[in-house]
Structure 1
């Protein structure tokens, strides 16, 4: 009886492992935050009560929450949907660490699956450097949030509203963007800081902005920044408050000014504040185009530009454009520069790809993770600077499109698939990354091969034709082997009959003398049979040879050439 109970217990436990399982057997979270656990179960148990149990052993674990007895605001919440029930633990504490069980309540023995929860020491997840910032109309303003390095891979965002739980998201780090956007978001994962720059400020931009981190379960980490926009000043403004460039290359930043300051001295300096920044170059100083810092002033348009050549990673920082006025006061506007790794980080899986008409061809473009949020595109043309963009990652697309582009930002690769190839699709293409100044490109040459038509009118390709030719050769070879085997068989039968003859004198060196003594077959009949076999052999091989070989089998004089030496 004891063995029977043990067997039943083992059987139910085994079935439970198949019916219910924890998607992750180990999970962790931080104090005062939330963590979620997913438990998958067989669809046959959709209507059953699910519950969350705590204890080192299943036999003495304590039920903490059930799916049929919970209310809003509970520390532990169970959501059951389509074969997965999710347990969310809010406001984690160190004492919450331990062994837990997700379980299905049923008659007899409850199905269960265990897992381990670790609660790490609480961190100040988010903080802002300045809770109140201001900017001028037409210029740019930036707000920064610092986060714990444990969240470096999480999605960050900025939203706008009076309350964090109903604010409108302006930009996420997971979204594609380009430098000229109204809202531009960057995430420095090495420093644990993400920054949103608002370009071309307007009075309507005044308000509260919240930086946030998307977490499992719900978003509950926020920090607020209050933005004030002052009436535009006539002296200076920047069209783009955030620019980027590549190591070893050059980048430019521009300032616009009122034309009444056209004759004033302009300058660029570097530093955290305009009051203590170090002047890099002034308009009235001698310079040449190869200098590290080069300034141009377009007095007709009211724009002066600074170009930084031979960029280095150490050039990353804040730059201020300024005007020296008669009263010795200086007006200034800030531009933030980011220098990323060199252009060589963009490469393709193959510079030459090919495909057959009506089929598809794909190519992968690899890039440095610094470009993960940049817009990617696919264009056609002999030169990258004037190629026609066919598709990009910011454009909605479906699988049925002629050209489909997919960007895997975690791996740093985007894939371009060309569907329903045509001969006219052959040419030069470029996979590219949109950036300020000039785009990054890598060339791919596509060759579309012609498909062939069979005698029945069905379309096939060159590979199919090769397979058919190979099959013909094999069939021809098999036919040849069959003929040879038949000849050997006939000779064997004749030889066998010959050895059975009695009182006959046979010269073994004379084949025809031997055959003439075989019962039922004389010499003339053998010659006729042998000729017939040879003729059938030649006809069969002629039919299996390529057409050009057949053309050589006869001419106006009716003579056959020796075509078998080629087989």
Structure 2
């Protein structure tokens, strides 16, 4: 096997490249003027027959991709899905008569996940927490940042905050250069804030420096939590203890899933009565229990919500009188709702004044079984269903997310009450197929040639602006017909169509295009075009690396 040690060559400077395991690394090598049409390649170790990884005359594979930007005289090789075995010495080569030109490359690979040492930090729901991140003194003026997760390769792009912004919503960053630490503070903590975080310091060369923290947010909860069960139509009593020093404080009870947003229960209602039993506890009696009384209650003796000064109750109401919808549907109003697959849809259920505190729900089919109930007003979220009860407008709204064809059918807006439940509306939900095109055209051409894309449009759009954009999705495609570009739009009024001519076709022109005459993207008013571009190789291509190695040796007379 022939190696670089046996051959004559011209060697340029050493390039250092860094990458993360499982990610990609780009090796960019420049070359001199006049070598634009020469073949370039990347090889590893001693550049023997089996060490040549890819040439510009070859088709890109799944591991190695090569692109020669002749205008800047830089060819770039991308190595995908890095493994630790990929680390080592590489050579960028420019093939020419006599001595080839080489640039040495050193590739270093580190694990993407971080880190072996993790700082544990704890906080309390609705409170605040500070995470302290140390760094070396030589990085005092470098960019600092923090992200969620433990992947170093994407941390800066997904940063929650950087030292350039210092304040972002609930998150602030303070850099103390005297102690060589920066501190990230998170306010109004939620349980969802728990998880892994990375502190990052950007470096001028090489990979960034990181330290890791694990944040645990504990639920702000009570000293005592009780489960109470009552029967529909019967009374129930909740007993609430409190510290002796609060004996002269105002006592009250509120209802809601979270203490921070619970609604105070008015004691002058006929069914709610508060009694001071002793200097250590008070009671609240609810008479004639209704299904809507079920839920979470909080009783306390001071407004600051100090831990230990209140009690949490989970009240369940045994419903003994519910009938099937088969006999009650006659008076229900019919509502027709339509949505599209993959999107969200809202179902709005009106109810009468006086039922603000009653439980509402949405059910499917005939609602004769509990399993038919999809979600209740006591549930903010359940699977793909979300609720919002606007008690001022007397409307209960259920959002169904991620629609599928199986969601189509009949639903009922229900309200739980003593005796028979009330059903205010029958809902017929229609789910339409995903938004798609009327016509898809497939076409192809060759690099350097000219191609014309034809786009029909409705006659009534003859005065509309016509456009052609490129991108995998119509909602994010980029307009390509701009002044001075290789794309030229011409309209043919007589045939209700327009065309776009692309000159000097390039390999990068391949992809998905959308042409249309309706800015609202109405179905039928546009055409989807899939363009493929055949590559035309410059000079005489080499079919295999071994042939290249043979020519390589012939040049040196070996």
Q: Shared fold (TM-score greater than 0.5)? A: no
By percentage of residues, which structure has more helix? Answer: 1
Structure of larger gyration radius: 1
More strand by proportion, 1 or 2?
2
